A and B are shown apart, each in its own frame.
Chain A
Amino acid sequence: MKYVIIGNGAAAIGAIEGIRSNDKKSEIVLLSKENCISYSKPQLYKMLNEENVQNIYYRNEEFYTTNNVSTILGKTLISVDFNKKILLLEDDTIKYDKLLIATGAKANVPKLKGFDGETYSFTNIDEALKLKESLVNKDKIAVLGGGLIGVKLSEYLHKMGKEVILIVSSKGVLSSLGDEKISQILNNEIIEKGVNLLLSTKIVGAKKIDSKIELKLEKENIICEAIVSCKGVKPEVSPFEKTELSIDQGIKVDDHMKTNIDDVFAAGDVTEMYNSIEDGYCNIPILPNAYGGGYCAGINMSGGDAKIDSVYPMNSLQIFDVQMITMGLLSSAEKDEVITMFDSKKRIYRKLVIREGKLIGAALLGDIDRAGILNNIIKCNLDVSAIKEELLNSKINFYVLPRNMREVIVKSYIEGIK
């Protein structure tokens, strides 16, 4: 048996650990276009002010030898012949018996009209280092896009002493979360800390003027020295586009992380999976899904039988001094019940979205302690009709659940039953 893994992020690492939990011996080959060992994408911002890349490594350097994995780093995959089970590289081919595609996602970099200079992005180490290098003699940076990457990057650039202009097309940052209050709180926080935040602003074009850049907005023109585009990411499916692999928003996988092709699995940011809350297939590019999906794929590739947990978006973030955790669906439909609590003095906000008695989404700002208890309530589809006010207003407490429910939860996690 020869396992081949394309990619070197959390999904790939999960797959190695999943395979090795079943099969200690067979050959594992890992192919990655990035020429470095696995690192934590959520911690990429730290590359801007830390010299040492080791500080964001996802596993230690011995990981690959300990797990007997041969790595081919810094090589690009051209395409795959799924019938012959062969990967085609620029100057080589690799055969596989079981394949995992974990190529992740790449930056969306829209073309700016009239601009022939460099538009930076920030989704991997190469991009981060390139940006870092160019920042040495630049002070005024325009960040395009108010999603997670744009906001975190703005925070880090600001902390480095740069003048940051964050340009967002919607009314608030993190608007894709679907909660106006969160966007509003974060807008205020970002402005208060000194980032120049331009909301509801579209970019018309840009022009290079000597060492500066003139950025043309609808109402005004601004001068900056570098542009970083943070307009989201898209699954890296380019090597598979002309193949029979089923791809929509991402590579479609079932609850065993199998694609439509035999012996081909996929996991992580490159995939789309069934989202139990949305009742449809979604691309959810977050680390727990990547590692969990990779691990599940690894078990199934090596002859085991693992089913992925229900997946839905969730995240834990800190934007300047605002700590927050969000999970599930926050943009409610008409039929949903939405209850919120806001304490402006303590800067605490909590929101619960309830559909037919079941919790389907929750946001915690300020006080995030024990958020996992709510997350598990979402995951297990528990009825919260009788306890919703307590869940909203009290400190989160496991004992808020009725005893029979608590006992079932304890048993299921101790025994590992899904």
Chain B
Amino acid sequence: MKRRIICNEDFCIGCRLCEVHCNVKHSKSRDIILAYKYEKEKEPSRMTFEQKEQVCGSIVCMNCKDPLCIKACSMGAIKIEDGTVIIDTDRCVGCWMCVMVCPFGAIKRGDKKAFKCDHCHDEEVPICVLNCPNKALMYEAD
């Protein structure tokens, strides 16, 4: 099964709540108030919000059929598990070969480790999709 989060830009108004809820989901407390007001180390959003004039939307890892990041990884640290592309952070050494090849710019640079959307694999529906007020973010699984 492949999980996918697709943004319909006709409905995206750029509220960036997807980023907010992504941060909360990956925070220590998983509580929106605590995460934003009291947690010292902020978890960066896995989403990238993009805007060009009136056109906007969010983009994350598309779980490509034939992922270029897996081929480029110099440590063999990227693999597909249950249809989701996963970065093994123990193996990742931050060579950024994945950043070099991801066609969506969906892999981000953390502290010497790459990270990306995990499609909230422990949730039925990804949290950004659940909280998108305009239903611009859609969840697909095949």
Are A and B bound to each other?
yes
Contact among A56, A287, A316, A403 with B96 in the assembled complex (CB-CB below 8 Å): A316
Closest residue on chain A to residue B72 by CB atoms: A288
Mark contacts of A274-287 with chain B using CB atoms, 8 A cut-off: 1 yes-contact digit, 0 otherwise.
00000000000001
In the bound complex, residues from chain A placing their C-beta under 8 Å from that of B51 are: 399
Which residues between 30 and 69 of chain B lie within 8 Å of chain A, taking CB atoms? 48, 50-52, 55-57, 59, 62-66, 68
B130 lies within 8 A of chain A by Cβ: no
A58 lies within 8 A of chain B by Cβ: yes
Q: How close is B86's CB to chain A, nearest CB, in angstroms?
A: 15
A325 lies within 8 A of chain B by Cβ: yes
User: Is the Cβ of A325 less than 8 Å from the Cβ of B100?
Assistant: yes
- Quick check: which of A223-231, A247-255, A365-373 contacts chain B, the rest being far away? A365-373
A136 lies within 8 A of chain B by Cβ: no
Closest residue on chain B to residue A326 by CB atoms: B100
User: Is the Cβ of A369 less than 8 Å from the Cβ of B50?
Assistant: no
In the bound complex, residues from chain A placing their C-beta under 8 Å from that of B99 are: 316, 325, 368-372
- Given A59-B76, A287-B72, A375-B103; A397-B52 close (CB under 8 Å): yes
User: Is the Cβ of A373 less than 8 Å from the Cβ of B95?
Assistant: no
- Given A40-B76, A288-B71; A369-B108 close (CB under 8 Å): yes
Which residues between 404 and 418 of chain A lie within 8 Å of chain B, taking CB atoms? 409-410, 413-416
In the bound complex, residues from chain B placing their C-beta under 8 Å from that of A400 are: 52
Mark contacts of B90-101 with chain A using CB atoms, 8 A cut-off: 1 yes-contact digit, 0 otherwise.
000101111111
User: Is the Cβ of A325 less than 8 Å from the Cβ of B96?
Assistant: yes
A327 lies within 8 A of chain B by Cβ: yes
A122 lies within 8 A of chain B by Cβ: no
Closest residue on chain B to residue A55 by CB atoms: B93
Most chain B C-beta atoms within 10 Å of own C-beta, residue among A59, A315, A414: A414
Q: How close is A306's CB to chain B, nearest CB, in angstroms?
A: 9
In the bound complex, residues from chain B placing their C-beta under 8 Å from that of A379 are: 103
Closest residue on chain B to residue A370 by CB atoms: B105
Interface range on chain B (Cβ under 8 Å from partner)? 35 or more
User: Is the Cβ of B9 less than 8 Å from the Cβ of A316?
Assistant: no
Q: How close is A53's CB to chain B, nearest CB, in angstroms?
A: 14
- Count of A-B residue pairs with CB < 8 Å: 115
Q: How close is B136's CB to chain A, nearest CB, in angstroms?
A: 14
A292 lies within 8 A of chain B by Cβ: yes
Contact among B56, B65, B74, B95 with A414 in the assembled complex (CB-CB below 8 Å): B65
Interface range on chain A (Cβ under 8 Å from partner)? 35 or more
Determine chain A's interface SS by DSSP, over half rule.
helix
User: Is the Cβ of A399 less than 8 Å from the Cβ of B96?
Assistant: no
A243 lies within 8 A of chain B by Cβ: no
Q: How close is A297's CB to chain B, nearest CB, in angstroms?
A: 13
- Given A43-B93, A316-B97; A291-B105 close (CB under 8 Å): no
Most chain A C-beta atoms within 10 Å of own C-beta, residue among B4, B72, B100: B100
User: Is the Cβ of B75 less than 8 Å from the Cβ of A40?
Assistant: yes
A323 lies within 8 A of chain B by Cβ: yes
In the bound complex, residues from chain A placing their C-beta under 8 Å from that of B103 are: 372-373, 375-376, 379, 409, 413
Which residues between 283 and 336 of chain A lie within 8 Å of chain B, taking CB atoms? 287-288, 291-292, 295, 314-316, 323, 325, 327
**Assembly CA distance A415 to B29 (angstroms):** 37
Contact among A314, A315, A372, A416 with B102 in the assembled complex (CB-CB below 8 Å): A372
Closest residue on chain A to residue B105 by CB atoms: A370
Q: Which residues of A contact B (CB under 8 A)?
A: 13-14, 40-43, 56, 58-59, 287-288, 291-292, 295, 314-316, 323, 325, 327, 368-373, 375-376, 379, 396-400, 403, 409-410, 413-416
10 A-B pairs (CB sep. < 8 Å): A315-B100, A316-B96, A323-B96, A368-B100, A369-B108, A370-B102, A372-B101, A379-B103, A399-B50, A413-B64
Q: Which residues of B contact A (CB under 8 A)?
A: 4, 6, 9, 48, 50-52, 55-57, 59, 62-66, 68, 71-72, 74-76, 93, 95-105, 107-109
Please give me the 6 A-B residue pairs with the lowest Cβ-Cβ distance, nearest first.
A370-B105, A416-B65, A376-B103, A372-B102, A288-B72, A399-B50
